[in-house]
Structure 1
Amino acid sequence: MFTIDDLADRLGGYLPPDEIRQVKRAFYYAEQAHDGQRRRSGEPYVTHPLAVANILANMHMDHQSLMAAMLHDVIEDTGVSKEALGEQFGEAVAELVDGVSKLTQITFEDKAVAQAENFQKMVLAMSRDIRVIIVKLADRLHNMRTLGALRPEKKRRIARETLEIYARIANRLGINTIRVELEDLSFQALHPMRAERIKRAVASARGHRRSAIRQIQNSLQQSLDDDGLSGSVVGRQKHLLSIYKKMRDQRKSFAEIMDVFGFRIIAEDVDSCYRILGVVHNLYKPVPGRFKDYIAIPKANGYQSLHTTLFGPNGMPIEVQIRTREMEAMANNGIAAHWLYKAGQTEHPIAEGSHARARAWVKGLLEMQRHAGDSLEFIEHVKNDLFPDDIYVFTPKGDIMELPQGATVIDFAYSVHTDIGNSCIACRIDRHLAPLSTRLQSGQTLEIITAPGARPNLAWLNVVVTAKARSAIRHALKHQQHTEAVQLGRRLLNKALAEFETSLEELPAKPLDALLAELGLKNEDALLESIGLGTRVAHVVARRLVDLQHGEQSPAPGGKHRQGPIVISGAEGMVIKFARCCHPLPGDPVIGHLSVGKGIVVHRAECRNLAELKSDPDKLFALEWSDESDEDFPVPLRLEIESRRGLVAELASLVTDADANIERIGIEERDARLSIVNLTLSVRNRVHLARIIKRLRNLSHVGRITRLSN
């Protein structure tokens, strides 16, 4: 059995004796705290923290991380407090342990909420010290290695969580060794039979292919030696989940996947990598379009390497990766390489760059966490953000931005800055104007055009793919709705108070404070928002305010303060909506109906649906149009037209000449001679519509024209 003395011997290779003594002290403290506790497998509990510390020792992590690994379950599973750990081992170790510990003192409704809240707590701890996630990954890896003792459904739940979150985080931080093992262990727990069959097939295939692999490896090594280049060639093995995913996604058989031979060449320096690439391409012909230079443009997690695919002997595909020793260490240990180099008291630019990228990523997580409505929404954003396969685009100044596959111009705008995303109106891709919904491709140069009054659009949520953009848009829309609802609520309440010859501004603070306390609301804005969104009726709130002011003796409504109709322009945004049943236009007589959660819905005065709503007169309002309205409004028309060739083109030309747009057109035949055309136009007002209808009537083959309603 692995002991603390075995670990101390391993640590002697890179830690000074006083730090090793501190790690041993943390072990003995954990051993005493967990005394009597056992794992499901029956082993003493302390074997788990010791194994976690051993995983971190393989990565050459610092002594504080190793101490936190020893103590990581002490707060959660024993009576020891964070303060006690701080006194014994220092504040840094106590913070690391607390960051990894679950929220045991709170009872959650279900497992999903508990998982989300614990993850949110860990992200906040990560923002203070990134080592929290490395300790957590090591903890999760050992738990996955020892899943055997758990119930099948718990195994599957933990494996799914590992695959969806922790394996992706390991990938995002470039810790490939942990990522691969987490993925394979999760795959084996979720699909044990498939994993076993693939494992047996891999072992069998490797035996058959041994001579071919050796032949290609020898020819690659010989070519390097002939050109005087020092580099070692090693075979590269695919892991189980990678093989399974390729078989499933690419619909290939196991034989087709295993037909690809993988090799890695480790070079002395970056210059040698490119020279070796030339030698390899000279030996075997490269497959066009299959070369990737991750040295010049590293992946988001800091990964650097040259990738090329070659036509090998007898046309066998060969995948070759070429990198330096430092890049190999980074590929395996990712952000943990930062501590590997610090342990040797040397700063290394690759490791430093990876650490900086990881800090930037955690900063982005914090921004998402602030914008998210709750922990479940936050964890969904994080899952979306952890998908790999990035594309690389450029800012006008030549800076490289990493975005996920399928990202749009809007995603790019938000990745530059939230304010730029919120105010973007157009974009130039490689100097050509393009829609904001355009999907981006690697190598494009983007320039975002913004406008001061611009606001995010609800439809953007259907096209963005990055978690940062999605959470920022939702946050902006919530803020926009809140502001507009407060403004509308103020107008509605003042209109209702005018019936009692007063206004919100004239009311003393005392009755308003009393009403807020009575309703359990935080402030005046919360009350006005609830009125604007239709969850409270303005007349009821006004009467209660006046009752509280006059000691339950409110004056009769009516008098000189009576206000006129509410003025609307059509540009109010999220709390004034236009009914789709009657499509009101500026110039139409209109009535507003207060709908719960939506605000005011505007109907034409003759709309038949208003008959059903008149049973609740407190929710109906007189409205009138502002003279300054310059928005476009949809209006449906029905035309009876003689069937003829070029009909649609003629209608489109006439509508365009009248300075309007066709939003939708549909044609149905009534008989051999007549066609019915359903046309939805975008017009400014009733006068604009009348002008278009007059032009349509002038066409000799147009019969009846009807403006549709209900």
Structure 2
Amino acid sequence: MTGALATAVATGSEHELRVTESGYEFRVSESGDSPDLKSTPIVYRSERMFTPAMRQWFRAAHPVPLPAYADSSEFEVEFDRDVLDAFNRFMLNLMETMPPPRRGRVAKAFVLAYILHDGVRRKTGEPYVLHPLAVADRLRTLDMDADCLSAALLHDVVEDAGFPLEEIKRCFSPAVAEMVNGVTKLQRINVLSSSMQDQDREPSQRKAESLRKMFVAMVDDIRVVIIKLADRIHNMQTLDGQTPLKRKTIASETLEIYAPLANRLGIGQFKWELEDLSFRHLDREAYDEISQAMAQTRVVRERWAKSTRDLIQEELDNMGIKAEVTGRPKHIYSIYKKMERKGIPFSEIYDIQGFRVVTSKVSDCYAALGLIHGLWRPIPGEFDDYIANPKENMYQSLHTAVIGPGGNSMEVQIRTQEMHTVAELGVASHWQYKEQIRAGGPPNKELTHKVALLRALMEWNQDEADAEEYVNRIQSDIFKDRVYVFTPVGEVIDLPAGSTPIDFAYHIHTELGERCRGAKVNGMIVQLNYQLQNGDQVIIISAKRGGPSRDWLNAEAGYVRSQRARQKIMSYFRKQARESSISHGRLVVDRELKRYSVKYGFDEIAGMFNYDSVDDFLAAVGYADITVPSLVKKILDRERQEKEEEELNSLIASERRRASGNQNITGVMIQGEGGLLAQPAGCCKPLPGDDVLGYITKGKGITVHKAECSNLAARREVPGEAARIVPIQWNEERSDSFYNVQIEVKAYDRAGLLRDVTGVVADAKINMLHADATVDSRDSIATIHVEMEIRDIPQLSRVVSQIERLPNVRQVFRKVG
């Protein structure tokens, strides 16, 4: 489309509202007054708004006499005054952040949305087009780009008006069309998940998590999910037009699926708003009670908050720290959860008001933290350093709670401006960053890296505590390796990418997989090797009896992708030939025993493989579940182990005789017995509680090493030395020995830091041998060394944990060697 996009003229006046390819502008009278759109009839005129393909679609979609504008390159459309007012406000706000050419594309999307939704009203009675306009306006507050705003304005035209997706691509861009298509696809999830909830009333945690995964897996552009979140916020704001049961169903879905999804994306302002809106409809009585209680104390609270905020700002200015201090009340739902968690009434919630300090650099964050702790007493256990240890959604900030003015507890968050942007906008900050680059600003590599991680982090599970497993799950790029499909009743099934209807059937139940004879996907019959796609709804066609086909195991035919289904099919055929497999397995084992001249019974070898039944073991050999190489290795390893145990027992007996007249160190046992001369290794300095191994020296008894000691590992490689390395244990009943231990503390320097560290050691009643501290003036990092006498690892761990909780402490570790 070329030339002027649209011109809305206020006829009968000198005011003109003009929308063109180059932007959006007002033309006002010579007096300079702004146009009074409420008292002026607005007429829309367009040049080449409709392509020939669009006019053809209009003819097919409208059996009634064709509108004049569908057959003409110039036409007029009456604008609803309320709609045009809302559009005015939206575009005036957009002028502050978006340059004219891109504003013109957004205005073009609005005009098309208005025409396609013309005459349609929501259940609230307002024109339908106000809904996509509200969604786009909400995304504007996140500084989303022009393509995203255009897609938001058009997000319902395919589903509700049947407008061709190809025309959106032609008139706007492939990106806009893909986003509109993505939102349209997500509508199916809403329909099916709603039917699932009608059965279950409330979504289970597992189903809610699966739906959140599917939301992300089904779209290639994460902006689709952000549009959907904004769409849900406006739907929640206008939920009063629904029935009470429908309101509760939608609110429950929002709280279980959409609010956690906003949190995964790191969009804090979306998360709390979705939570509060859901809570309002799920428990109106509790919502109103907290809301009214907050309103009653608002005047006193705001006066207290202003004086506290001014005091913090003044102290920061005096220290030369450039920062902005803001006060904020807690959100209603978070207050409710705290009341519920602690079992206390609203009157006992003292930290309703919080404060946020936004600085320009990281070092100022820690300096501001020291200032806050200097002004008021910190509350023990309430300090969290999310700058050094970011949350899984890349949130970074310092959190502390103090007893503030008047004895009121208050929370203070301290972060840099960049951290604040990511905290508030989350993954949406990526598009704000792109706008900065377009404007000629410098690229921010760290922010780009964080945004790239956010997509992977949406798979994160709060119960997944193991850090290594968590990292591995991110690296596996879970969304590319999984596919999410629906059962006929709307339950979400998680399968490996490339899975087929057979994989689906076996996932539901083994018997359904064995009797599978065909499948329907989205109502259409498909081949059994059809690869399922995200969002497919699958129905299995089964026989009353029968079993799987051996062809399903042919990898080239592509019938089975999941290991689960393959194992079930193989298990079926194994059961058909168990007797012949046992006979074949017996021949294999007997042959290998004779070949290697090993004298073990079948029952002994079955025990080596953890089989209680000899027949089960022989069948596994016959099925080739236990291969011949693994069988031989297990037998020969057992024979070698028995010989080594004999040599070890001989060495220990010799050392016990040698040590009978010597003084032993206490605290270790070998093979459950003491009485041996033992000494700690100087290379790794083991402590009671460490995993340890013993090394039988020649004439000097046993040397105790940490299990991961590199010196010990080197000795294993020396011929004949491996037999001298023996398992040992600490004797928990003997704890009268002390060990010299050194720890190193890294922290941002502050007054009283060394005193606090040594105070922790003294409070634990531990004898301190030495302490010193140095400070690197370049980054104000203090390094403290402490040497002390420790009884065991648990005692050391307690001291280290207490030091780590001290303000400004970044790292504490034990020095070895």
TM-score, normalisation: structure 2: 0.49
Distance change >3 Å, CA 103–CA 226, structure 1 → 2: closer
Q: Is 2:129 the partner of 1:111?
A: no
Alignment partner of 1:88 out of 132, 146, 171? 171
Q: Is the 8 A contact 1:295 1:304 kept in 2?
A: yes
Distance change >3 Å, CA 62–CA 589, structure 1 → 2: closer
Q: Is the 8 A contact 2:582 2:615 kept in 1?
A: no
Alignment partner of 2:469 out of 394, 411, 415? 411
Distance change >3 Å, CA 192–CA 567, structure 1 → 2: same
Distance change >3 Å, CA 281–CA 48, structure 1 → 2: same
Provide the rounded CA distance (Å) in 2 between the counterparts of 1:174 and 1:589. Answer: 56
Q: Is 2:570 the partner of 1:532?
A: yes
Q: Show the 5 A alignment for 1:624-643.
A: 628=632
Question: Which residue number corresponds to residue 193 of structure 1?
Answer: 285
Q: Show the 5 A alignment for 1:418-567.
A: 522-524=552-554, 532-534=570-572, 538=576, 565-567=583-585
* AA at the equivalent of 1:285: R
Distance change >3 Å, CA 142–CA 218, structure 1 → 2: same
* AA at the equivalent of 1:223: E
Aligned-residue offset at 1:91: 0.5
Aligned-residue offset at 1:78: 1.7
Unaligned ranges ≥5, structure 2: 1-81, 199-206, 478-493, 515-545, 590-600, 617-621, 639-670, 674-817
Aligned-residue offset at 1:188: 0.8
Provide the rounded CA distance (Å) in 2 between the counterparts of 1:184 and 1:624. Answer: 58
Aligned-residue offset at 1:80: 1.3
Aligned-residue offset at 1:226: 3.2
Aligned-residue offset at 1:360: 3.1
Question: Which residue number corresponds to residue 36 of structure 2?
Answer: none
Q: Is the 8 A contact 2:236 2:251 kept in 1?
A: yes
Q: Is 2:157 the partner of 1:69?
A: no
Q: Is the 8 A contact 1:589 1:624 kept in 2?
A: no
Alignment partner of 2:110 out of 27, 52, 55? 27
Aligned-residue offset at 1:241: 0.8
Distance change >3 Å, CA 20–CA 321, structure 1 → 2: same
Moved more, 249-258 or 345-354: 345-354
Distance change >3 Å, CA 125–CA 235, structure 1 → 2: same
Deviation per CA, 1:255-291, whole angstroms, max 9, x where unpaired? 2223564212233443433332232222223234433
Q: Is the 8 A contact 2:135 2:230 kept in 1?
A: yes
Aligned-residue offset at 1:67: 0.2
Provide the rounded CA distance (Å) in 1 between the counterparts of 2:280 and 2:353. Answer: 24
Aligned-residue offset at 1:173: 2.0
Provide the rounded CA distance (Å) in 2 between the counterparts of 1:538 and 1:166. Answer: 49
Q: Is the 8 A contact 2:132 2:152 kept in 1?
A: yes
* AA at the equivalent of 1:139: D
* AA at the equivalent of 1:98: N
* AA at the equivalent of 1:567: G
Deviation per CA, 1:8-46, whole angstroms, max 9, x where unpaired? 111111212221111111111112222232211122211
- Report the 3-state secondary structure (helix = DSSP H, G, I; strand = E; otherwise coil) of the residue aligned with 2:109: helix
Deviation per CA, 1:510-566, whole angstroms, max 9, x where unpaired? xxxxxx9995954547798566323796379x9xxxxxxxxxxxxxxxxxxx88714
Question: Which residue number corresponds to residue 127 of structure 2?
Answer: 44
Distance change >3 Å, CA 41–CA 109, structure 1 → 2: closer
Q: Is the 8 A contact 2:211 2:257 kept in 1?
A: no
- Report the 3-state secondary structure (helix = DSSP H, G, I; strand = E; otherwise coil) of the residue aligned with 1:14: coil
CA RMSD of aligned residues (A): 4.8
Aligned-residue offset at 1:60: 1.6
Question: Which residue number corresponds to residue 587 of structure 1?
Answer: 603
Q: Is the 8 A contact 2:165 2:181 kept in 1?
A: yes
Provide the rounded CA distance (Å) in 2 between the counterparts of 1:347 and 1:168. Answer: 35
Provide the rounded CA distance (Å) in 2 between the counterparts of 1:337 and 1:192. Answer: 34
Question: Which residue number corresponds to residue 136 of structure 2?
Answer: 53
Provide the rounded CA distance (Å) in 2 between the counterparts of 1:65 and 1:624. Answer: 57
- Report the 3-state secondary structure (helix = DSSP H, G, I; strand = E; otherwise coil) of the residue aligned with 1:587: helix
Aligned-residue offset at 1:51: 0.5
- Report the 3-state secondary structure (helix = DSSP H, G, I; strand = E; otherwise coil) of the residue aligned with 2:585: strand
Provide the rounded CA distance (Å) in 2 between the counterparts of 1:148 and 1:417. Answer: 44
Distance change >3 Å, CA 230–CA 604, structure 1 → 2: closer
- Report the 3-state secondary structure (helix = DSSP H, G, I; strand = E; otherwise coil) of the residue aligned with 1:534: helix
Q: Is 2:288 the partner of 1:204?
A: no
Alignment partner of 1:101 out of 173, 177, 184? 184
Alignment partner of 1:359 out of 435, 439, 452? 452
Q: Show the 5 A alignment for 1:370-409.
A: 382=459, 385=460, 387=462, 407-408=465-466
Q: Is 2:292 the partner of 1:276?
A: no
Q: Is the 8 A contact 1:68 1:96 kept in 2?
A: yes
- Report the 3-state secondary structure (helix = DSSP H, G, I; strand = E; otherwise coil) of the residue aligned with 2:449: helix
Higher relative contact order (CA 8 A, sep 6+): 1
Distance change >3 Å, CA 256–CA 198, structure 1 → 2: same
- Report the 3-state secondary structure (helix = DSSP H, G, I; strand = E; otherwise coil) of the residue aligned with 1:48: helix
Q: Is 2:225 the partner of 1:133?
A: yes
Q: Is the 8 A contact 2:117 2:157 kept in 1?
A: yes
Provide the rounded CA distance (Å) in 2 between the counterparts of 1:231 and 1:529. Answer: 61
Provide the rounded CA distance (Å) in 1 between the counterparts of 2:106 and 2:588. Answer: 68
* AA at the equivalent of 2:233: L
* AA at the equivalent of 1:356: H
Unaligned ranges ≥5, structure 1: 366-381, 388-403, 420-469, 490-515, 543-561, 572-584, 591-600, 607-619, 633-651, 655-710
- Report the 3-state secondary structure (helix = DSSP H, G, I; strand = E; otherwise coil) of the residue aligned with 1:567: helix
Distance change >3 Å, CA 29–CA 328, structure 1 → 2: same
Alignment partner of 2:425 out of 311, 323, 333? 333
Q: Is the 8 A contact 1:232 1:267 kept in 2?
A: yes
Provide the rounded CA distance (Å) in 2 between the counterparts of 1:326 and 1:171. Answer: 18
Provide the rounded CA distance (Å) in 1 between the counterparts of 2:627 and 2:144. Answer: 68
Aligned-residue offset at 1:410: 6.3
Distance change >3 Å, CA 586–CA 242, structure 1 → 2: farther
Deviation per CA, 1:34-93, whole angstroms, max 9, x where unpaired? 223221112221110000011011122111011000001112112112222111211110
- Report the 3-state secondary structure (helix = DSSP H, G, I; strand = E; otherwise coil) of the residue aligned with 2:329: coil
Aligned-residue offset at 1:301: 2.6
TM-score, normalisation: structure 1: 0.55
Alignment partner of 1:316 out of 408, 416, 431? 408
Q: Is 2:98 the partner of 1:7?
A: no
Moved more, 249-258 or 5-14: 249-258
* AA at the equivalent of 1:274: Y
Provide the rounded CA distance (Å) in 2 between the counterparts of 1:566 and 1:603. Answer: 16
- Report the 3-state secondary structure (helix = DSSP H, G, I; strand = E; otherwise coil) of the residue aligned with 1:27: helix
Q: Is 2:271 the partner of 1:179?
A: yes
Q: Which has the larger radius of gyration?
A: 2
Question: Which residue number corresponds to residue 233 of structure 1?
Answer: 325
Aligned-residue offset at 1:139: 1.0
* AA at the equivalent of 2:222: I
Q: Is the 8 A contact 2:255 2:275 kept in 1?
A: yes
Distance change >3 Å, CA 301–CA 354, structure 1 → 2: farther
Question: Which residue number corresponds to residue 257 of structure 1?
Answer: 349
Deviation per CA, 1:350-392, whole angstroms, max 9, x where unpaired? 9754553343343466xxxxxxxxxxxxxxxx5xx364xxxxx
Question: Which residue number corresponds to residue 243 of structure 1?
Answer: 335
- Report the 3-state secondary structure (helix = DSSP H, G, I; strand = E; otherwise coil) of the residue aligned with 1:44: coil
Aligned-residue offset at 1:198: 0.8
Provide the rounded CA distance (Å) in 2 between the counterparts of 1:119 and 1:171. Answer: 11
Distance change >3 Å, CA 280–CA 80, structure 1 → 2: same
Provide the rounded CA distance (Å) in 2 between the counterparts of 1:281 and 1:521. Answer: 71
Moved more, 562-571 or 199-208: 562-571
